[in-house]
Chains A and B, each alone.
Chain A
């Protein structure tokens, strides 16, 4: 019994050292979208952290583009509706009663500000979901990100 307690403590210690970025994202419902559709055909998933995003001063950038998958769109909207709780809605565009564009500013996790950007194009059967973590001000980051193309 003592041996098992020791193993448990060791595993717990290892778990605590897992990157805080992973922990910050894992509590969100949208992580399901990345997990389920990230490596599927018809999807493009990107994950960038720290070094590669030096120009943009972001801690974490994670995006997914899914084409021709209505079930993915449905899941994404459900996840967003749950992650919206407690979040600040920066922007929302609704077309025919369905949100097509949503920008959310999530509650801070430690020193990181967190943003979710969502866009759905029905005409092109495509949805785009982006998750960002940054230590900088959300306003400045959005200006920078969305102006640079």
Chain B
């Protein structure tokens, strides 16, 4: 397990699990073009962050950078207290194992593997397990995320909702400390949205049924409404700027003109 050093000393809050300090993020798929600038962000253990922004506002780049998959063009990124630019080889792999990443829209499952094989892959790879040895950890996830009947289907044979749940199961199989979800509710029915929100609440508190400890959650979304009563900390990406909105208690959408467009009932 990676442990960082608290350079500030004293009995204050423990070292953030993720820090972006004065970071300029890449834009879209480019690794050279600048997107959001001056991101100043600390994610602590137990946080439940909701980052809202329009499409192409830089939400995916923010998550990828925070997870250590992209380097910020400018500024500093720390994972578990360690400067990510100094992490290589085993240390970088260890850091990535502690972060579960759920991409948008059920994408990025390996198309030649079944859902069960996709979910088992990180566990089997990192712990050198056979499929039979991985099954006791994979089967509860398949059942818990309602994927049991689809376990032997390939991603191309199932719908978007199932792919999205398979991505979540794959992210959870290594029991990460931090779970990052990129726009997880997009394209889901109201019932599925409710299922996801309830499950994420349970994951934030610790999911007894799946045997998972409390997790730090970071979620991006284009719609703030479902998250108002769920998230604990909020931030906004708008016009290439990073805006910290505060926690649920201090968040006052009615008085925040930045947020009105993310709260309209009929914006679609």
The answer to whether A and B come from one shared complex is no
Q: Which residues of A contact B (CB under 8 A)?
A: none
